[in-house]
Each structure stands twice: as structure tokens, then as C-alpha cells.
Structure 1
Amino acid sequence: MNRDCAPIPPAALQAWSKSFLAGQDPEIRDALLSDSRVVTYSAGTVICRGNSDYRVTLVHKGRIRAKVTSWDGREVTTRYATAGHFTALPAMLTDGAPSSLEAVTMCEVSVLNPNTFRRLMRTRAELAYQVAVYLAESTYETVAYLEDNLFNSVQQRLSRHLLEMATPTVNGLLVQTDQTDLAHTIGSVREVVARALKKLDDIGAIRRYRRQIWIEDPALLRSFASTDLRGRRLPEVRDS
């Protein structure tokens, strides 16, 4: 089926305008987005499992977690993708990668055609250069995540992940997860995470209710998360 003239959804155009490719020739944008399909994933869905099973996506809304999993089931988060971010660009260029993707919240994405993307990169030098810069920056981001998991305390890692996983609602910032999922996310165990959550609850940084964690004091939570080794600035999380 020829999709060269397929209409591009407004949500895809808006996400593109937030992406690192926003300044590219509109012809490149239209070629990629016309040859894509919009897919929605519910929270907790495994989008792809790594290796040759990968999805090159442009995120419209929601939050996606990239992770690597050891043979014994332990997980380490390598990055998060939100609106305007692309996923699996390294896998597209190497025909597979070790990380898998999971929807943290309900997500809507454009699933791009990797063949079209590779063809454009071979013929458009500016596109290829921008992707190369993006991949370099993503590598540094992944290294920083690994440093956090290797050297930072559970309290620091947990606080940072809660901030990055939080979704704004009319009632405040909400993280929908449980202790087991959080332990997997930060590469720890349930019992240790439970103690760290209780501490945050006791001081008023969060409020827990079943699988819901409400962030009551984002600034206080950031103070726990921000003392990492690289001094990286954490993303601002707004409650409206």
C-alpha cells in the first residue's frame, strides 16, 4: 500500500515540533510521518523486548521506559522517553539492541518505518548528522543513569524515578505503580524500596494509597534526588 500521501495526524506533527528533528526539512518530516502508524499502549505494556524486536517510535504523549534485563530478571532503567522523544534509533542502525521498551503510562506514538528512516539518512547529510549528535547525547544520558544505579543510594534513585514517572492530574502528581515494580525499575529489592518509601511518606514528600503514590512535596523529593555524583539537573515536574 502506497502511503506517501497519507494524512499526517495533528498529534504526530505536534510531537515532531518538540523533537530534536523539528528544524529538519518538512519533506523529511512528511516522508517519515506519512509512512508511519499511530499506536496506543496501555500502562505496563511491553512495547518491544529488545534484540531484533524493536520499535522506532515518535512519542506523542505518555512516558516510555527503556530498560535492560539480566538473565536472573533484574532490571536497570537506561532512559525515559516522553512527548517529542524518539525510541530505538540505535537499534534501527544496528538491526537490534539489548534494551526493551515498556509503557510507564498510557502512551500514544507514531511507529516509524525503519527502512524509510535509514534511506533518508543515507541521502540527507544534515539528517544523518543530527541523528549522530542525538545518539551521542543519548549515550551520555544512559551512562549517567548507569552511574546513578551503580553509585547512588536507593533513596536518591527512588526519589529521582518517582519524579520522572509522575503524571500531572487534577489532584496533583501521581505515580501509579507498586513496590515490586519500583524495585525492578531502580535495580533494588522490594524490602529496601518499602523502607525508602516509608521514609518519604513519614516526612511528607509522598502519600501512598494502594498502587498510587501521590507526590505531596516535589521540592522536598527533588532535594533527595538531586545530590547525585554528576550534579545533573533533574527535569521540572509541574502539578498542572
Structure 2
Amino acid sequence: MSAPQQHISPSALEAWSKSFLADQDPAVRDALLVDSRQATYPAGGLISRENNYKVVLVNRGQLRAKITAWDGREATTRYVTAGQFSALPAMMTDGAPSSVEAVSHCEVTIFNPQTFRRLMRTRADLCYAVAVYLAESSYESVANLEDNLFKSVQQRVSRHLLEMATPTVNGLLVQTDQTDLAHAIGSVREVVSRALRKLSDAGAIRRNRRQIWIEDPALLRDFASTDPVTPASDQLRVLESDLHAGQRP
């Protein structure tokens, strides 16, 4: 029998309906949501860190999963938006070498990991759905790793802007600055500044302090997929700049 709906947040139900678990038995859904809690985080707020993880479903807003090197440099492994889960792998291993922070003001549903694991031990349909999700997440991580290793800063900046964009009545908006964006792609502010200037000159974006408006999404997608107008000498200078930045104390 399903749990009484009045104990479940309407926003959590809406987010669940968009998730990869939407087709699960309502009894499974209600058992998890009744034993959950709601929380809000401001932009930049830290949600979980390594072994202090939280299994969350995003109701509204956007999160960023990231890894941090010993010298403070960061690299984004995944963006998480409404209807998506975060930290399910950490739940299975009781921790993970990554952290999650809010990109924008967000509302999340935080699950009890013990309840989640208990249901997975008794419900094959839930267990199989999570297994498929984990497999797909591993492929996504490989794709992100490929981007960070083999693609230019220009391509990485363009892709991250597309993934971070939020629809508004005035168009697609990314609320970030050069420093935060540099952290997101594992680069440095000076290099990202040049990439943003190039996108702005081409008409793909428009900047206003911590706001970046995407003026031409199709053009920005072209920049994310290819970087044909960057000479090899410029790419070498960008690479050298990144390497020198990484060697700074």
C-alpha cells in the first residue's frame, strides 16, 4: 500500500516523475520519499563532500559534481538538473572522491541511504534500474574525462556554458564569472577570459558581470564541437599557460 501523499513534498513528487525511477512501483517511491527531507542551498553552497555524502534528487536548480586536486584545481565530472539524482555511486560504496555544490539556488530531496539500500536488497526492479543508471553514469564520466583531456579550452568553456544555462523569459542565462568557470573546467582565469572574449566577439554570448547570456545557442554548440579557427600556435600557448598555472605554488 502506498504511503499517504500528504507526507510527501509536491516538488519531490514532480522531480521523481522526471527521474529514471519514474516507472517504479508507487510503493517504492513513497517508501523513499516519506523517509526523505527537503533542503535548499544558495548558489555556490556545498551539498556533500567525499565521505560526507548526501543522496539527493534535484527538485529545482542545478548542481555540479567535481573533483579537486591537491593544489586546489577543480574539474567538473557532471552537472545535475531537476529530475536527476546525485551521489548514488557514493551510496553504494559509502563515500566517493568527489563533492557536490549548487550552481544556482536549488531545492533538493535528501534520501535516507539506509532505506534506499534496504529496498534495493528486496526489490529487483529497483536494483536493476539503479544498475543501469550507474552504467550510464560511468559512460558520462568517461565522456567528461575525454573532454577535459583532449578538447581545447575554447571547446570546454562552450560546452560548460551550454550545460550550465538556465532558461529565463529573456533567454538562456548562465550565472557565473571567469574564476568559477575556470574552476569548473580545470583551467585558469586568464585562459578562460580569452575564450569568453572570443565567444563574445563572435556573437555567441553576451557578458554582464556575473551573468553570461547565450545569444546564439547553435553557434555556441559549434564552438563546443569544433574549434577550427584557433591556430595551432594559439592552442600551444593555451596549453603552456595551463601547465604553468598548475606549477604555481
Structure 1 residue matching 2:7: 3-state secondary structure: coil
Q: What one-letter code is carried by the residue in structure 1 that aligns with 2:178?
A: Q
- Greater displacement, 6-15 / 143-152: 6-15
TM value normalised by structure 2 = 0.88
Q: Deviation per CA, 1:61-100: give whole Å up to 9, x if none.
A: 1110000001101111111111111110011111100110
Q: What is the distance in 1 between the residues matched to 2:80 and 2:224?
A: 19
Give the superposition deviation at 1:126.
1.1
- Greater percentage in helix: 2
- Whether the 8 Å CA contact 1:76–1:186 is kept in 2: the answer is yes
In structure 1, the residue matched to 2:240 is none
- Whether the 8 Å CA contact 1:64–1:81 is kept in 2: the answer is yes
Give the superposition deviation at 1:5.
7.8
In structure 2, the residue matched to 1:62 is 61
Task: Work out the number of aligned pairs and report it.
Answer: 225
> 1:53 and 2:52 equivalent?
yes
Give the superposition deviation at 1:226.
2.4
Q: What one-letter code is carried by the residue in structure 1 that aligns with 2:218?
A: A
Q: What is the distance in 1 between the residues matched to 2:182 and 2:5?
A: 46
1:94-173 matches, within 5 Å, as 94-173=93-172
Give the superposition deviation at 1:4.
8.3
Q: What is the distance in 1 between the residues matched to 2:219 and 2:207?
A: 16
- Whether the 8 Å CA contact 1:6–1:34 is kept in 2: the answer is no
Structure 2 residue matching 1:207: 3-state secondary structure: strand
Q: What is the distance in 1 between the residues matched to 2:24 and 2:174?
A: 35
Aligned structure 1 segments of 4 or more residues deviating by more than 6 angstroms: 3-6
Larger C-alpha radius of gyration, 1 or 2? Answer: 2
- Whether the 8 Å CA contact 1:4–1:35 is kept in 2: the answer is no
Give the superposition deviation at 1:153.
0.4
Give the superposition deviation at 1:227.
3.6
Structure 2 residue matching 1:66: 3-state secondary structure: strand
Structure 1: 5+ residue stretches without partners: 229-240
> 1:187 and 2:186 equivalent?
yes
Structure 1 residue matching 2:115: 3-state secondary structure: helix
> What is the CA RMSD across the aligned residues, in angstroms?
1.4
Give the superposition deviation at 1:160.
0.4
Q: What is the distance in 1 between the residues matched to 2:121 and 2:9?
A: 26
- Whether the 8 Å CA contact 1:4–1:31 is kept in 2: the answer is no
Cα gap change, 1:5/1:221 in structure 2, threshold over 3 Å: closer, same or farther?
A: closer
Cα gap change, 1:118/1:4 in structure 2, threshold over 3 Å: closer, same or farther?
A: farther
